[in-house]
Structure 1
Amino acid sequence: MLDPLVRLLAQNPLLLLFLVAALGYPLGQIQVRGSRLGVASVLFVGLAAGALDPSLALPEIVYMLGLAIFVYAIGLSSGRAFVASLRRDGIRNTGLAVFAVGLAVALSYLARRLLGLDASLTAGLFAGATTSTPALAAAMETLKQAAPGHALSEPVVAYSICYPFGVVGVVLAVRAAWWLWKPDLAGEARRLAEMGAGNEPLGSTTVRVTEDMGALTLEELVRGLRWHVIFGRLRRGDRLMLAAPDVRLEAGDLVTVVGTPAELARVVERLGVVADEPIDADRSEFDLRRIFVSSPEVAGRTVAELDLPRRMGVVITRVRRGDVDLLPAPALRLEVGDRVRVLGPVKQLPRVTTYFGDSYRAASEVDILTFGLGLALGLLLGILPLPLPGGVWVSLGFAGGPLVVALVLGTMGRTGGMVWHLPFSASVALRQFGLTLFLAGIGTRAGVGFLATFASREGLLLFAAGAAITFATSLAALFVAHRLMKIPMSLALGMVAGIQTQPAVLGYALDQTGNEIPSQGYAAVYPAATIAKLLLVQLLVAFG
C-alpha cells in the first residue's frame, strides 16, 4: 500500500522535503515536562522517512544549502554579542565555554577508546551530546574531505541517538546543582538589578529637580554618574523643551526619564523627587512617534553617530528590536527592522520619519547583494585548507567558513553604503528555513543506518555515553561558574544553556528563575561555544 506513495516521494524530492518539514515542525512544539525538541524534530521525521525506504533520501545540495544559510544568519546576528562578550568579562566567559567544550571533547575521546568507536561515530557522539547541529555539519564536512569514501551517515546516526538526552541531561544537572548549592535566585536578581545587569523592562517617570545642578550638563551628569537612562521632555516654568544633552538642570524643573526601575531610582535619588503631575499629556508642541528603521543611511550607525539632538532637535527614547525594548545608549547600532520611539517637536517628526525610512516592506526585505556576497566569501573561506600541527590540513567547511565571515561582517555592521545585517524578521525566518533544510536533508539520508544502529548494542552504548557526557559537562560547567568563578546561578544557568547551544534549556532556565537574567548568560557564551565546537569536532575527526 505504501509503494505508490514511496515512489511518488522518491520521484519528487521537493514534495518529500516539505512533507518532512510540515510533519516535523509541529511535532517539535509539543511540550513534555516543560521541554520540547523544537525544529530538531524535523531530523527525526527525516530519519523515519529514510528508514521507511532507502530511496527516500534528499539530494546532498539540500542539506548543504540549508547549513550555509543557517550558520551565516546565526553569525550575523551574534557578531556584536560575541565581541561584546570578549570586551566585558570576555576572558571569563570565553574561558568557561572553552573549558566545557574541551571537557566534552575529552570525554568523547575517552568514550571512543573505551567503546572502540571510529572517528565519525565519535564526532557524532560529541555533536549529539552537546546538541550542536553546526558541529555535526563541520564533522561531516571534515569527514568528506579526509575520507571521501566514508559513509556520512555514521555521525548523523550517533548524533540522532545522543541528541534527545542533550536536553534532559542538562535539566538533571541543573536539578543536581539546585539540590547541592540551594541558590538564592531572588537575592541574585536584586543584586544584579542594583548593578544594572538585570535586563529589566524599561519604564519612565517624571522627576522634579530640587536643587540646581550647577555647570554640569545632562550629558556630563549621565557620563559622570554612569546613568543608563534617556532624558525626554523638560518643563521649566511655562516653557516645554527637549532635555537635550547640553541642558543644565535647575531647581523646579520637571524632566521625564526612561530606564530600568533600578536606574530610575538612582536618578531620582540624585536629582530630587518623583513628580505627581506628568508633563507628557500635552502633545501639541512635542510628540512621540514609532518609526521603522529602513533607510541604508541609518542602518549600521550608532545612536551617537546619528547625533539627532543637535542635527534635528529630537531624541530617541527607546529602540524596539524583535520583542525587546532597548535603551538607545550612544554605542547602540541601529539595524534594519528596528522600531525607534522618537521624541521631538511636532513639526520636525515628518522630516525624521523620512530620514529613518519608516517602510515596513523595506525593513523586511533581504539585500540580496550583501547577503549573497557575504555568504560567497564565507563559502570561499570554508574551502581553503588550514594547516594544523602534525602535518594535518583541515578546512572550516560549509559551517565554519560562513560563520567566521558572518561574525566579522556582523560586528562591522556596514562597509560604506553596504549594510551587512539582516532585518530581524528576515534573520529569524532564514535561520529557521536553513536549519529545516539541513535537518530534513541529513535525516532522510541517514534513516536506514539509524534504525539498524539504534536497535543494536552499539546504539545503547552510544546513548549511555552521550548521556554521561551531557550530564558531566553541564554539572562541571555549573560548578566552575557558580562555585569557583562566583557567577550568580541565574547567569550560570543561561551560560550552561549557551554552552549546550540549546534554546530548550534556556527556556527551562527562564521558567526556573522567573526573570530574563539567564538570557544574558546565554548570549555571552553562545558564539564562543559554537566556534569552539566547530573547531574541536574537526580535531576529533582529523586525529581519529
Structure 2
Amino acid sequence: MRSQARHAAILAGAAVVGLAVIAFAQGQPPPAMQPHPHGVFGAILDYLRRQPFILLFLVVAVGYALGEVKVKGVGMGSTAATLLLALIVSFWAFQSFNIEYTLPEFTSTVFFNLFIFAIGMKVGPQFLGGIHREGKHLIILALLVPLLSSALVYASRFFTHLAPGLLAGILSGANTATPGFGAAQAALASGSAALSGEAARQAPGNLTTSYAFLYCISMVVFTVLMSVMPKMFGKDAVADGKAMEKELAGEDSAPLPGTADSFIRGYMPLDLRVFRVENPALEGRTVADLDHAHPRVAIERIYHKGRVYNPPPDLVLSRGDEVAMLGPVSLLLAGGPRIGPEVDDSKLRNVKFDTVEFIVHNKDVIGKTLGELALRMGQGIYLNALFRAGDQLPVSQDQAVNKGDVLRITGSPKRVAELGKVLGPPVKPSLSTDIITLGLGLAAGALLGAITVPMFGIQFSLGSAVGLLVVSIGLSILRTHNPALGGPFPESARQLLEDVGLNVFIAILGLNSGAGVAHAIAGGLLAPTLIIGSIAAFVPPIVGWMVGQYIFKMNSAVLMGAIAGARCNSAGMRAAQEASKSIVPAIGYPVTFAISNLLLTLICYMFALMG
C-alpha cells in the first residue's frame, strides 16, 4: 500500500510538471498576443473562452468524474483532479492556440468564501474539543512547517543564484500563501527593497510568475499527498476519524443541537401496536377511560365504524373497533390483551413520527423535574436527549429543567403539536436555508478578515478565510446552545456549499494559470523554481507529519488537517476529509492555518525586501 501511495503522489505531480518540461524541451517561446484557433480543438477552446460559464462547469463536472477514478484503490479525489484538468486545458489552450482564459477573480473569491464558511458551520462543536486536546501540538506544527519551509528557501541562496523576486515568490507559491504573495508585492511596490535598475523592473514579474507556477504545482501534488499521507506512514485515517468523532462526542452521546445529525432519531424504546376491541367490559367506555387505564401508553388513532379518528376523549368504543397504541413494548404486551387480539394488517399502523427540539422558556416548565413533566405531558412522546449550554445532560426522573435547556423529543405530529402549546414552537428538520444568517455571516467574516493592524511596518490582517472561519465556527457553537439561532441550515445545503465552493475556486485558479506557467517556462524560471519550490513545499509537511505522528502521537485525521492548515492549503484539507471520510481534519485546520498565514506574510515581506 505504501508503494501505491507514493506512486499516486508522484504521478499527480508528474502530470503537471511533464507539461512544462515538454514545452521547455521544445523551446517554444510565448506565442503572439492574438489568438489563432485552428482545427476542431482550437475552435472548441476558443468557443469556451467566449463562454466561460460553460467552460467552468464542464471542468468541474469532468474533474469530479476523474476524481472518482482509482488505480489499485488509490485516486486523486475531486479537488486535485479538477485543478489538474483545469491547468492542462488552460496550458494547452495558451501554448497551442494562444488562447488565454481570464475568469473573474471575484467569482473565485465568492466560491472560496462559501467553502470556508460551510466548513466552519460544521466543525464548530468539535473544534473546541480538538483545541482542548491538541492545542499545544497544533501551535508547534503551525510554527514548524512554515519556518522550515522559509529556512529551506533562504538556504537555496547559498547554492544557486536566484533572480530578484524569486525568493518571496517561491516561498509564497510553494506554501499556497496568497497573503504572503500580497505582502511581497507591497514590499516591492514600496520601493524599500534592496533593488535598483533592471533588477527592480524584473522583480515584480519574477515574483508573480514563480508564485503562480508553484502555486498550481504545489496545490495539485500536495492535495494528492494529503490523501495518501496516512497510508505512507501506516495509518488508517478512516478508522482514526471515526475514533476521534466518538471520543469528542462520547460513545453514547446524542448529536448536539444544530449539528448535521441532530434529528437522526436512532433507537427509540417505543412501539406502535394495534388491538381490536373484543373485551365486553370496554363497550360503551370512552377513549378517556382507556387512557386512564393505561397511563404510560398513548392512544394515537382509532378505527371506529368505518372511519379513522384522531380520537377525541369522549369517543365511545364499540366491539370491533381497532385501537393504535404507542408506548413501551413491555406495557403494550401487558395491557394489549386486556383490550383484545393484536391486528397485524391494520391501516392504523401508518403513523409517522417527528423528531424535534424544544427550547425551554415557559415559566411553568422551568424548575420542574423530568419526572413531573412526564406526568403532565409525557404521554406518547420519547425524550431522546436533554442539553444545557451545548452539553448533554443525563436523563433521569429527578433532573430539573432550566431556562434555555433543549429537549429533543420524538412523537407523532399530534403529540408534538400538543406539546408545542406548552413549550412553544419546536425546531424542526428543514430543507430550507436561512439566507439572512448566511449573508450576514459571510459579510461579518469578511469584515473581520479585512481589519488591518500595523506591525513592523506591515499592515497585517487575518484575511477573509480566517475571518470567515472564526465567524462560522462561532455561529455553529452558538447553535448548539440554541438551535433556533440563525434559522435552519440543513446539512445537504451546507455540503453543497462546501463541495461546489472549493471546486469552482480550484477550477478558476487552474484555468487562469496556464499563461503564467507558459511564461515561467519561456523565461527560464522553470528549473530553479521547480527544484527549490518542491523542496520547500513537500519536505516541511512530511517532517511535520513525522513529528505529529511519532512525537506528539496525534490522531492521523486531526494531523491531516493540521498539516494542511500549516501549508495554508484548503484543497489539501478537503482532500483529507475525503480520504478520512470525516469532518475531523477540519478540527486541526483553523489554528495552524491562521498562525502559518500570519508568519508567512511577515517572512515573504522580508524576503521581498532582500531582493
TM interval, shorter chain, is 0.5 to 0.7
User: 1:138·1:399 contact (CA, 8 Å) conserved in 2?
Assistant: no
Offset of residue 65 of structure 1: 1.2
**Which of residues 495, 498, 508 is equivalent to 1:431?**
498
* Amino acid across the alignment from 1:399: A
C-alpha distance in 1, partners of 2:231/2:145?
20
Q: 1:375 to 1:23 in 2, by over 3 A?
A: same
Cα contact 1:76–1:409 (8 A) shared by 2: yes
The reply on whether 1:39 has 2:79 as its aligned counterpart is: yes
2:454 is paired with a residue of what secondary structure?
strand
Deviates more, 1:277-286 or 1:472-481: 277-286
Indicate the SS of the match to 1:118: helix
Cα gap change, 1:344/1:19 in structure 2, threshold over 3 Å: closer, same or farther? Answer: closer
Tell me how far apart the structure 1 counterparts of residues 350 and 128 of structure 2 sit (CA, whole Å). 36
* Secondary structure at 1:543 match in 2: helix
Q: Give the corresponding residue for 1:252.
A: none
Which residue of 471, 483, 496 corresponds with 2:559?
Answer: 496
Structure 1 residue 281: Cα displacement = 6.5
What is the distance in 1 between the residues matched to 2:185 and 2:448?
Answer: 17
Question: Is the Cα–Cα contact under 8 Å of residues 174 and 475 in structure 1 kept in the other structure?
Answer: no
Letter in 1 for 2:56: L
Residue 400 (str. 1) matches residue 466 (str. 2)? yes
Is residue 2:526 matched to residue 1:456?
yes
Check the 8 A contact 1:71/1:399 in 2, yes or no: yes
> Percent identical across equivalent pairs?
21
The CA deviation string for residues 6-59 of structure 1, in whole angstroms up to 9 with x for no partner, is: 332222221222122122221122224434332232222221232122521211
1-structure distance, mates of 2:219, 2:536: 11
Q: Secondary structure at the match of 1:499?
A: helix
CA contact (8 A) 2:83 2:220 kept: no
Query: Contact 1:370–1:418 at 8 Å: present in 2 too?
Result: no
1:93 to partner: Cα distance: 0.7
Question: How far did residue 108 of structure 1 move?
Answer: 1.0
- In structure 2, relative to structure 1, the CA distance for the partners of 1:541 and 1:291 (3 Å cut) is farther
Contact 1:232 1:343 (C-alpha < 8 Å) held by counterparts: no
Shift of 1:365: 2.1
2:123 equivalent to 1:75: no
Encode CA deviations 1:482-509: one digit per residue, 9 max, x unaligned.
Answer: 2xxxx6xxxx222222213435446656
Deviation at 1:427, TM superposition (A): 0.9
Aligned residue type for 2:426: F
Paired residue for 2:546? Answer: 475
Deviation digits for residues 511-544 of structure 1 (CA, Å, limit 9, x no counterpart) = xxxxxxxx58635423323333443333343333
Residue pairs, 1:124-143, within 5 angstroms: 124-127=173-176, 136-139=177-180, 142=183
Matched, 1:329 2:384: no
The aligned counterpart of 1:157 is: 213
Q: Is the 8 A contact 1:143 1:152 kept in 2?
A: no
Q: Which runs of 5+ in 1 are unaligned?
A: 128-135, 204-228, 243-276, 320-326, 333-339, 511-518
Cα distance, 1:178–1:49 mapped onto 2, change above 3 Å: closer
Matched with 2:102 is 57
Contact 2:548–2:559, Cα closer than 8 Å, also in 1: yes
Query: Which residue identity is paired with 1:528?
Result: V
- For the residues of structure 2 that align with 1:437 and 1:467, how far apart are their CA atoms? 25
CA contact (8 A) 2:558 2:587 kept: yes
Q: Is the 8 A contact 2:172 2:211 kept in 1?
A: yes
Question: What's the CA shift string for 1:257-286, capped at 9, x where partnerless?
Answer: xxxxxxxxxxxxxxxxxxxx9538769999
Letter in 1 for 2:601: Q
Equivalent of 1:85 in 118, 130, 149 = 130
Please tell me whether the aligned partners of residues 153 and 532 of structure 2 are also in contact (alpha carbons under 8 angstroms): no
**Distance in structure 2 (CA, Å) of the matches to 1:477 and 1:110:** 20
Q: Could you tell me which of 280, 289, 296 is aligned with 1:241?
A: 296
Whether contact under 8 Å (1:289, 1:341) holds in the other structure is no
Query: Which is greater in Rg?
Result: 2
Question: Match for residue 88 of structure 2?
Answer: 48
1:69 & 1:189 partners in 2: Cα distance? Answer: 24
Say whether the 8 Å CA contact 2:76–2:224 is kept in structure 1: no
SS in 1 for 2:512: helix
- Which residue of structure 2 lines up, in the alignment, with residue 279 of structure 1? 330
The corresponding residue for 1:66 is 111
Cα drift, residue 202 of structure 1: 8.3
Deviation of 1:469 (Å): 2.1
CA contact (8 A) 1:156 1:442 kept: no
In structure 2, distance between residues paired with 1:12 and 1:366: 31
- Does 2:418 correspond to 1:377? no
8 Å contact kept, 2:577–2:585: yes
Asked whether the equivalents of residues 120 and 476 of structure 2 are also in contact (C-alpha less than 8 Å), the reply is yes
CA distance in 1, matches of 2:350, 2:408: 10
1:356 is aligned to: 426
Distance 1:172 1:375, change over 3 A: closer
Mapped to 2, the partners of 1:140 and 1:105 lie a distance apart of 14
Instruction: Write the letter of the residue equivalent to 1:102.
Output: L
* Corresponding residue of 2:148: 107
Q: What is the 5 A alignment of 1:212-251?
A: 241=296
3-state secondary structure, aligned to 1:386: strand
Report the equivalent of 1:26: 65
Q: Which moved more, 1:495-504 or 1:432-441?
A: 495-504
Distance in 1, Cα, partners of 2:63 & 2:156: 32
User: How many equivalent pairs are there?
Assistant: 424
Q: Structure 2 length as normaliser, TM-score?
A: 0.57
Q: Secondary structure at the match of 1:279?
A: helix
Assess if the C-alpha contact under 8 Å between 2:269 and 2:329 holds in 1. Answer: no
| Partner-residue secondary structure (3-state), 1:387 | strand
Structure 1 distance, partners of 2:243, 2:447, is 47
Work out whether residues 138 and 400 of structure 1, in 8 Å CA contact, stay in contact via their aligned partners in 2.
no
Q: How many angstroms apart in 1 are the aligned matches of 2:504 and 2:134?
A: 32
Instruction: State how far apart, in whole Å, the 2-side matches of 1:386 and 1:62 are.
Output: 27
- In 2, distance between residues paired with 1:6 and 1:449? 18
Give the 3 Å change call, closer, same or farther, for CA 74–346 of structure 1 in structure 2: closer
Asked whether the equivalents of residues 71 and 403 of structure 1 are also in contact (C-alpha less than 8 Å), the reply is: yes
Work out the CA distance in 1 between the residues paired with 2:587 and 2:549.
15
Instruction: Give 2:171's aligned residue.
Output: 122
50, 55, 59: which one pairs with 1:16?
55
- SS of structure 1 residue aligned to 2:296: strand
C-alpha displacement of 1:143? 5.3
Report Cα offsets for 1:413-436 as digits up to 9, x if no partner. Answer: 389975167321111111112112
Q: 1:350 to 1:30 in 2, by over 3 A?
A: same
Does the CA-based 8 Å contact 2:120-2:473 persist in structure 1?
Answer: yes
Contact kept, 8 Å, 2:469 with 2:590, in 1: the verdict is no
**Counterparts in 2 of 1:520 and 1:456: CA distance versus 1, 3 Å:** closer
1:331 shift after superposition: 10
AA aligned opposite 2:330: I
Q: Tell me the distance in 2 between the aligned counterparts of 1:288 and 1:308.
A: 29
Distance verdict in 2 for CA 1:70–1:101, change over 3 Å: same
Displacement of 1:105: 0.5
Partners of 1:422 and 1:499 lie apart in 2 by: 27
What is the 5 A alignment of 1:278-297? 279=330, 290-291=353-354
Distance 1:331 1:379 in 2: 40
Report the alpha carbon displacement of residue 120 of structure 1 after superposing the two structures with TM: 2.8
Residue number in structure 2 paired with 1:440: 507
Query: What is the DSSP-based 3-state SS (H/G/I as helix, E as strand, rest coil) of the residue aligned with 1:425?
Result: helix
